[in-house]
Amino acid sequence: MKTSNTYVIILFMLVTTAIAAQSDTQTSVKSEPLITDRPDATEASSTVGKGILQIETGGVYESFEENSIKQESYTYNTTLIRYGILDNLELRLGWDFVEGVTKVNGNKLANVSSGLSPLLLGVKIDIAKEENGMPEIALIGHVFPLFSAAQDYRPETTGVDFRFSLSHTLSEKSSLGYNIGAQWGNDSPEAAAIYTLAYGYSITDKFGIYAELYGDLPEDSLANHYWDAGFTYLVSNDLQLDAYFGTSITKGQDILVGFGASFRMLNER
């Protein structure tokens, strides 16, 4: 009986220690502003933290016109849910609801496409902290299952991507982030290298701006290069608003305009 009681006491101590450690982690996280993966294409080089739920959502408008044919895309919901299951590991779930419109000589065609694009399922893992001039590094991987997409946006092949996300602190107010990786998808079996490079500057403790270059380089097709810029406003440590705009450097996009919000919730248990 004494041995049984000893096991119970030890188990209780381990559980209490784990809860206290998670509470300390969450208290530390809550004292710092949230770090998001939006609005730019550059993913952050850090995870959200154990027991943290972070939701990032927004809307996007894109257009491209060629030979009197204009393609417009309205993404009404660009939600990404991030949940930390460990201090250095987060699970990721994302989806977009898209409506595509085609206009010929200014006249809207009747065949409007709409529905969910393939779900994003993935993980992010912290690899290294920034130290001695070396960047902070995280590894991110996603899969986009076919069955999750609406018929209008269902590709022929399952999409997959991975990237290394890195960042440097340049000064108290500025930072540099960049991603390097590869993706497979968009109805093509060929791989495409992907890159992003973003510079961020904090004008005040709450108001920040950024500028970014990003693109992809398919194996057997022409490269695609884009730029965007925008601002973020930190309402509180757990709520951030954003807006941005951009276009393509190469052919393919006339304008990109978006806005959104991100908020963080802590598991209080």
Instruction: Give the pLDDT of the chain (269 residues) as one tens digit per residue.
Output: 433 344 333 334 433 433 444 444 444 556 799 999 999 999 999 999 999 999 999 999 999 999 889 999 999 999 999 999 999 999 999 999 999 999 998 888 988 899 999 999 999 999 999 999 999 999 999 999 988 999 888 888 899 999 999 999 999 999 999 999 999 986 777 899 999 999 999 999 999 999 999 999 999 889 999 999 999 999 999 999 999 999 999 988 999 999 999 999 987 65
**What secondary structure, in 3-state letters, does the chain show?**
CHHHHHHHHHHHHHHHHHHHHHHHHHHHHHCCCCCCCCCCCCCCCCCCCCCEEEEEEEEEEEEEEECCEEEEEEEEEEEEEEEEEECCEEEEEEEEEEEEEEEECCEECCCCEEEECCCEEEEEEEEECCECCECEEEEEEEEECHHHCCHHHCCCCCEEEEEEEEEEECCCCEEEEEEEEEEEECCEEEEEEEEEEEEEEECCCCEEEEEEEEEEEECCCCCEEEEEEEEEEEEECCEEEEEEEEEECCCCCCEEEEEEEEEEEECCC
> Angle CA(18)–CA(23)–CA(29) in degrees, nearest 5?
130
Q: Which structure tokens are listed for 60?
A: 């996007």
Report the predicted TM-score, pTM, of the whole model to 2 decimal places.
0.85
Residue identified by tokens 């010929």 is 104
